[in-house]
C-alpha cells in the first residue's frame, strides 16, 4: 500500500517557530493569544515531528505576523532552544536564536499575592529578574520571591 505524505505549504510572510520541544506548541499558541482571537491568517501547528537534534519537535507557522520581542521572550521560557524565522516573500529574511534578557518586564507575574506588582491600585508592571537560564531560576524584582513554576506565571 502506498503511503501518503501530507506537506505543509510554505508561508509567504510571517513567522516560523522551530525546534519547540515536542508537546509544547499548544502552550506557545496560548501565550501568544492566537487560540482566543481570530487571527485572520493561516496558522500551521506541527506536533511531534522527527528532528535530528531533538529527536521529536513541534513547529508553528504563523502567516502575516511577525513576533514582538515580548512574545519571543515568552516563547523562550517554554522553548529555550527555539529558532524564530521571519519569512518575507517566501524566504527566510531573519533567523533568531533568542535568549532571555536578565530583566523580564510584563512577561511573568509574581506569585506573591502581597507583592506590590499584584496590587491593582499601585499600577506597577511585573518585573522579574532571571538569575539563571539552566536551570531556569527567576525572582521578583520587588518582593524577592522566587517563582517556582515560571511557565504557570507567564502573562497571557
CATH at 31: 3.30.70.140
Q: What is the pLDDT of residue 145?
A: 97
Enter the C-alpha cell of residue 141: 524584582
Enter the C-alpha cell of residue 148: 517556582
Indicate the residue among 96, 117, 138 that finishes a domain: 96
Domain encompassing residue 25: 14-96
Predicted confidence (pLDDT) per residue in 67-116, tens digit: 998 899 999 999 999 999 999 999 999 999 888 899 999 999 999 999 99
Q: Does residue 67 share a domain with residue 20?
A: yes
Q: What is the pLDDT of residue 143?
A: 97
Closest to 77 measured CA to CA, from 56, 100, 46, 105: 100
What's the CA dihedral at 45, 51, 57, 61 to 10 degrees? -30
Q: What is the pLDDT of residue 135?
A: 87
Rounded to an integer, what distance in angstroms lies between the CA atom of residue 43 and that of residue 35? 10
Q: Which is it for the CA torsion 64, 69, 70, 72, positive or negative?
A: positive
Q: How many domains does the chain have?
A: 2
Distances (CA, A) of 30 to 1, 24, 75, 113, 141: 39, 10, 10, 24, 26
Predicted confidence (pLDDT) per residue in 26-64, tens digit: 999 998 888 655 557 789 999 999 988 889 999 999 999
Indicate the residue among 50, 68, 96 that finishes a domain: 96
Amino acid at each position: 500500500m502506498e503511503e501518503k505524505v501530507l506537506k505543509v505549504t510554505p508561508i509567504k510572510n510571517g513567522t516560523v517557530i522551530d525546534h519547540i520541544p515536542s508537546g509544547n506548541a499548544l502552550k506557545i499558541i496560548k501565550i501568544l493569544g492566537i487560540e482566543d482571537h481570530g487571527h485572520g491568517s493561516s496558522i500551521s501547528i506541527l506536533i511531534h515531528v522527527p528532528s535530528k537534534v531533538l529527536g521529536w519537535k513541534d513547529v508553528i507557522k504563523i502567516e502575516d505576523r511577525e513576533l514582538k520581542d515580548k512574545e519571543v521572550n515568552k516563547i523562550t521560557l517554554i522553548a529555550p532552544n527555539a529558532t524564530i524565522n521571519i519569512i518575507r516573500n517566501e524566504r527566510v529574511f531573519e533567523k533568531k536564536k533568542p535568549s532571555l534578557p536578565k530583566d523580564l518586564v510584563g512577561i511573568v507575574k509574581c506569585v506573591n499575592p502581597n507583592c506590590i506588582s499584584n496590587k491593582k491600585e499601585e499600577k506597577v508592571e511585573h518585573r522579574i529578574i532571571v538569575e539563571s537560564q539552566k536551570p531556569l531560576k527567576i525572582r521578583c524584582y520587588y518582593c524577592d520571591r522566587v517563582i517556582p513554576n515560571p511557565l504557570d506565571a507567564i502573562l497571557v
